[in-house]
Amino acid sequence: MKTIYNARHSEHAAQHEFFRGEKVEAFEKPARADFVLDAIRDANFGEVIAPTPFPDSVVTRVHTERYVNFIRGAHDEHLALGGTGDAFPSVWSIRGMRSDVEPKNFAARMGLYSFDSGTPLTPGAYAVARAGADCALTGAALLSSGEASAFVLTRPPGHHSGSDFFGGYCFLNNAAIAAQSLLDNGCKRVAILDVDYHHGNGTQEIFYSRNDVFFASIHADPATDYPFFLGNADERGAGAGVGFNLNLPLAQGASPDVWFSALDVATQRIEAFRPDVLIVSLGVDTYEGDPISHFKLRTREDYPRIGAAVAKLRLPTLFVLEGGYGVREIGANVIATLGGFSS
């Protein structure tokens, strides 16, 4: 299995974030990818390659042009207005307010295109996210050319980013961009399996009314966990997409047995969908020691089982790194999953 690695990822290094109203050290940090790369190399787990550059037109098949244009220049605008350090939103457009008209005010546009105050927009955020999209597109191209699998090693993650918003540390939705590219290059159906602790609200929003992408997510119940306002079991899709969105929310503290029962449901539905290719949004913040999550999966016992379950689907598979914040353990958990898939 080839790993497509975003060597620019460390250019996005947040100084801090806000967590439960407190200013804290950023959880989403360069060490995340560093530990995964170390684990890949220590295990001699295939070739590590650089991404191929792709045009912005491929990215704007998923994200709106006005959103991409904004995040591309947002930090420079922040500095030009006298800002220092990382940029954070401070106001938001909510129910009853308009979102179709783009304000001229920078703070207003920050709020228009974001949904939380915990996602620092750093000087390198756009360039690094854009390089990450190229990694995902390179992985998709490998599958289109006949590769059986590939792993996209990049940060920041992507699954919380929707068609025109960022949040949850995410600016561009790598899994969604890869899925759309695969469809544009001959696939008829693509399935996305999101195993991150947090619901992939951005991925759901992008494909919610479509029947060419089946999205399944196993995650913490939004009644108690981020992103809170999406990810309920009754969200099955809209219009042509009804029945093509599967949410499997679980209670905090869910045991491995409960989690794998949900995985069985998800894989059965994916098999019934008969996709041409599978994308796995691989979050390993389901780990029992993760600092901001509350599931109980274990490195040696459980992560190989995830990979093995995915392998049983016998589909060309693209793994895309999402969350995982127990830093040192993230590498072991990722390599255990990929190893279970390949064994």
Of how many residues is the chain composed?
Answer: 343
pLDDT band per the 50, 70, 90 thresholds, residue 189: very high
Residue 327, pLDDT > 90, answer: no
Rounded Cα gap, residues 88 and 143, in angstroms: 37
Residue 274, pLDDT > 80, answer: yes
Non-local (6+) Cβ contacts of 51 within 8 A are: 4, 5, 6, 131, 134, 135, 137, 138
Of 205, 218, 282, 284, nearest in space to 246 by CA: 218
Please provide the CATH number assigned to the domain covering 2-54+124-342: 3.40.800.20
Point out the catalytic residue in the list 63, 160, 199, 219.
160
Of 90, 130, 132, 134, nearest in space to 112 by CA: 90
Q: Would you list the DSSP string of 175-201?
A: HHHHHHHHHHTT-S-EEEEE-SSS--H
Structural contact between residues 3 and 147, judged by C-beta atoms closer than 8 angstroms: no
Tell me what the mean pLDDT of segment 120-144 comes to: 98
Domains of the chain, residue spans: 2-54+124-342
Of 130, 115, 120, 114, nearest in space to 172 by CA: 130
Question: What's the chain's average pLDDT?
Answer: 97
Distances (CA, A) of 38 to 34, 241, 304: 6, 40, 18
Residue 20, pLDDT > 80, answer: no
The more confidently predicted of residues 343 and 206 is 206
Rounded Cα gap, residues 28 and 132, in angstroms: 15
Q: Would you list the DSSP string of 222-276?
A: TTTSTT-SS--TT---SGGGTTSEEEEEE-TT--HHHHHHHHHHHHHHHHHH--S
- Predicted pLDDT at 197: 98
- Predicted pLDDT at 214: 99
Structural contact between residues 309 and 265, judged by C-beta atoms closer than 8 angstroms: no
Burial class (CB in 10 A: 0-12, 13-18, 19+), 223: exposed
- Predicted pLDDT at 151: 99
Rounded Cα gap, residues 15 and 12, in angstroms: 10
Of 334, 330, 286, 292, nearest in space to 31 by CA: 330
pLDDT band per the 50, 70, 90 thresholds, residue 256: very high
Tell me what the mean pLDDT of segment 198-217 comes to: 99
Active site residue 160: yes
Rounded Cα gap, residues 259 and 221, in angstroms: 12
- Predicted pLDDT at 193: 99
Residue 22, pLDDT > 90, answer: no
Q: Nearest-5° angle of CA 179, CA 182, CA 188?
A: 100
Q: 242 is written with which tokens?
A: 């009804």
Tell me what the mean pLDDT of segment 236-257 comes to: 98
Tell me what the mean pLDDT of segment 291-303 comes to: 96
